[in-house]
Amino acid sequence: DAKTTQPPSMDCAEGRAANLPCNHSTISGNEYVYWYRQIHSQGPQYIIHGLKNNETNEMASLIITEDRKSSTLILPHATLRDTAVYYCIVRPRNMYSGGGADGLTFGKGTHLIIQP
């Protein structure tokens, strides 16, 4: 799986858009970009994923650059409940966990703190 780089922490004012960057310069053609978040003391939560087109759902928008080497997760109107660690991962769109020691792996992620 391609390696990702995220800033360790970010602040954002409540009500403003939170823009979380992720670099994945070694991404392969068959790898998707996935975003998860983990609120303190809870399990990870799937947010959104994309291949090369911009994607939007009820939680967030995902902007992927044309060369696919970086992406930005956008929370349009951040609330205090959005304070969490956000993980960007790139993986092929496996239908199964894969052979051997596999499964999802997260890096350090970005600790997003929403300020009141």
Partner 1 sequence: KAGVTQTPRYLIKTRGQQVTLSCSPISGHRSVSWYQQTPGQGLQFLFEYFSETQRNKGNFPGRFSGRQFSNSRSEMNVSTLELGDSALYLCASRRSGSSYNEQFFGPGTRLTVL
User: Which residues sit at the interface with partner 1, rule CB under 8 A?
Assistant: 32, 34, 41-46, 49, 89, 91, 93-107
CB-nearer residue toward partner 1: 99 or 116: 99
Specify the residue, 14 or 106, whose C-beta has the smaller distance to partner 1.
106
Of 28 and 97, which has the nearer Cβ to partner 1?
97
Residue 114 Cβ vs partner 1, minimum distance, rounded to whole Å: 21
Q: How far is the CB of 81 from partner 1 (least distance, A)?
A: 15
Give the CA angle between residues 60, 52, 29 to the nearest 5°.
135
User: Encoding tokens for residue 65?
Assistant: 């650059």
**If 0-12 CB within 10 Å is exposed, 13-18 middle and 19+ buried, where does residue 10 land?**
middle
Contact 3, 58 (CB under 8 A): no
